[in-house]
Structures are given as C-alpha cells and as structure tokens.
Structure 1
Amino acid sequence: MLRGFTLLCATAASTFPIVLTAGSLSDPIVEPVPSAPVDAAPQPVNIDWSGAYVGVGLGYGAGDAFAKDVIQADLGTGASIFNSDFSLDGPLGTIHAGYNWNVRQNWILGIEGEVSLAGTVDGSYLATDGRSTVDISYGKMAQLRARLGYTMNRAMFYGAVGLAGAEISIDATHSTGAVFKGDNYQIGGVIGLGVEYALTDDWLLRAEVNYADFGSADYSLEHTGGTYSAAEATGGGTGTLVRLGVSYKF
C-alpha cells in the first residue's frame, strides 16, 4: 500500500506542473482596453426665423441711366439739345424692417421694406452734343420686397422680388450758360438674392445683391440763363446694389 501511495504522489508531481503551465498561471494578466467614446452626431440648430425684425445696411450701387430727347419746349421747335447715356455709382446706406413666417419645416416667407438713409448713386458726363455737362443721380431710393427663403441650420438662403423706387435728378449745363434741372420719382421692379446668418437667436448678418429697373418717364426741365427756354426730356435707368447688413429680430 505504501508503494501505491508513493507512486500516486510521483504521478501527481509529474502532472501538476503541466497543469500549471497549461493553465497559464505564470502569464501576466491583461486588463481589457476600454473602447474610445463615440461622438454623438451633431444635432441641427433650431433657429426660429419667424417674427419681426429691423436693421441697417451699407453697400455700393452702380447703374445705367439715360436722358434722351432733350428738346427745346418753346414754340414747338423741337430743337434737340442732347441725347446721352450715363454710368452711375456710389455708396448707399439703408434701413430695413420686415416680418417672416415659417410656412413649412425649412421654408420662410417674408415681406420687407427699406429706404436709403444716406448717399447717392450719381455720375457727371459731357453729353453727346459736346456742349452740355450733365449730372444725373439716384436719390431717396426705396424698396418693398417679398422674400422666400430656405434654412439650413443657422443660414437662410433667399430670393426676393418686388417694387423699387428712386428719385432720378437731371442737372445739365449748356455751353451757352443755360442750366436745365428736373427730377422725377420713378417706380419699377426689383429682384434679388441673398443669405442671412444667425449669430444668435436675435442677431442676424446678411449679404445680398439687388437689381432694379426704374423704367422711363417724361421730365419737364426748368432752366435759367442762356438762350434756351424750358426743355423736356425722357429719363430713367437701372441699378444694382451689393450690400452687407445686420438685423435684430424681436
């Protein structure tokens, strides 16, 4: 019996190291590496574009104007004085106010009016008769537009269409010393494109371009000096205004 116990111990001694090795008790314990956190997808910014707003803008305008069929009005002589086209440009400051409605999920419908605060779009040229210096300008400009916009997070891209008006002034000096002056407030159409960006829920930045066509109208030109009497003319023109602005939404 003693011999059998000795044999059992020998067998266990020879087997147990193999079990230790097989069980890898001598290997270092490897801690599990935590996976990197997955960033949540950015959530869209919900800006409430609806409501009233007011703001100011500063831009630069350029246009093409004309003063045609400038004729001597007395005695029905119809003597032509000059016919000329002009290119105009100049800075312009504006103030605007409007209201937006959120008509669908990302669609905004609005109405906006604006008037010019300061600056004129003007030019001075020698007329086609070679004897008249003509100053022509756009002043007291105003617009009333409908806007349709599409929002993407903090930005809104929009188009606009409506009415535009401007006081077009003609001031011509003839070599004889005659001075002709006249103005007319003309109303035409305007179209535009722009983008607004919401800095906060209340403050908005914008950049836009508008094109206006004021059509044509008849002018009665008063005069002083020289040999001419009062004159008549047809005047009008177009204009493009590129502008930056800021608005506060209530």
Structure 2
Amino acid sequence: MARSRTMKLLVPALVAVSMAAAPAMAGDWSGAYLGLGVGYGDADGPGARDGEAASFGGHIGYNFDLGNRFVMGGELEYDRVNNDLGAGGGTLDEIGRLKVKAGYDFGPVLGYGVLGAARATSTFGNENGLVYGLGLAMPVTDYLSVSGEVLRHQFKDFGGAGNDFDVNTFNLRASLRF
C-alpha cells in the first residue's frame, strides 16, 4: 500500500519537474555522472516464487558524445530490493548491474538502450545474469538530469538449484554531472 502511494506521488512530481525545466546541456552528453534512483521490481520464478517490491539505489557512469547525435557510455548501478518471493521462496535482496549504453540525442531528450551483466543476491544464493532495456534521460540544469529506465534481468539456474528467474524493473533516477 505504501509503495503504491509513493509511486503515485513520485511519477507526477518527476513528470512536472521534467516538463517545467528548460534543457540546459546544449546537446553535449559527455562526462561523468552519479546519482540516485527509486523504482519498482517484479520477479517471476518457478512455481509460486513471484514477488513485487520497491527498490532504491545508486549509479555512477560516464557518457561519450560521439557527435552526429550518437552517445555511448558505461554505468555501474546497485539497487536494494528486498523482494519477498512468497511460497517459501525467500527474498531477492540486491541487484547490481554493469551496463553498456548506446543512445541517440533527440534534442532535449536522450533515448538509449542498455545491455550488460547483472548480479542478484538472495536468501537462496547469488547468481549472475543478463540485463537489457531502454531508457530516456532529460537535462534539468547543466549539472542535473532525470531519467527513467525499464530493464529486464534474466537469471538462469539461480543458486545452482535449476531455478530460472526473470526480474523486470522500472527506475526513476536523478543524476549529477561533473
């Protein structure tokens, strides 16, 4: 209930800030950044091992503006999840990601795709997997941008028990460039 109320308040606030702010980065996405994010995750596993939970975490990365509106980058991200998987399935506690980003500068918005490696920790073991998805970023000031990402994680044979898990996440993020 609290998660739903938080998301209902957070999404309109982020949209209002994004729409009211004039883009200030003049089309150059190059540079280092770090930030925080909040989100929502939905894990699907074998049997009744499914769960949903809010998440929060941080990220750090670097973008290279290649000219002609193309942007490449890399990012390291960590999210605390605490997702109860039900049916005695334990909890999914953390997800870390190492992502490569490739995007296109549409003027005031950067659209990008991500592909990388993910590591999940849980009460029944740890597992490495694949992460891929899409994101949109928009500058608010010269040093602050907001973004949203939809990511899919695939973990095979989780904890060596033959269990495959798919985790979908949606994250709203704020990043400071330096």
2:6 counterpart residue number:
none
1:111 counterpart residue number:
74
Tell me the alpha carbon deviations over residues 146-165 of structure 1, each in whole angstroms, 9 at most, x when there is no partner.
00111122210000000011
On the 8 A contact 1:48/1:201 being kept in 2, the answer is: no
TM-score, normalised relative to structure 2: 0.81
Does 2:76 align with 1:148?
Answer: no
Does 2:124 align with 1:124?
Answer: no
Does 2:30 align with 1:50?
Answer: yes
Which one has a bigger Cα radius of gyration? 1
Cα distance change on mapping 1:247 and 1:218 into 2, 3 Å: closer
TM-score, normalised relative to structure 1: 0.58
2:58 counterpart residue number:
95
Deviation at 1:189, TM superposition (A): 0.3
**How much is the aligned-residue C-alpha RMSD, in angstroms?**
1.8
Paired amino acid for 1:165: R
CA distance in 1, matches of 2:148, 2:158: 32
Deviation at 1:201, TM superposition (A): 1.6
Deviation at 1:111, TM superposition (A): 0.2
Deviation at 1:239, TM superposition (A): 0.1
* Partner residue of 1:190 out of 115, 131, 137: 131
Deviation at 1:186, TM superposition (A): 0.2
Deviation at 1:235, TM superposition (A): 3.0
Deviation at 1:102, TM superposition (A): 1.1
* Partner residue of 2:115 out of 152, 161, 166: 161
Does 2:175 align with 1:247?
Answer: yes
More displaced 10-residue stretch of structure 1: 102-111 or 49-58? 102-111
Q: Which runs of 5+ in 2 are unaligned?
A: 1-24
CA distance in 1, matches of 2:159, 2:128: 13
Q: Percent identity, aligned pairs only?
A: 27
CA distance in 2, matches of 1:119, 1:211: 15
Count of residue correspondences = 155
Tell me the alpha carbon deviations over residues 27-51 of structure 1, each in whole angstroms, 9 at most, x when there is no partner.
xxxxxxxxxxxxxxxxxx7232101
| 1:135 partner SS | coil
On the 8 A contact 1:47/1:201 being kept in 2, the answer is: no
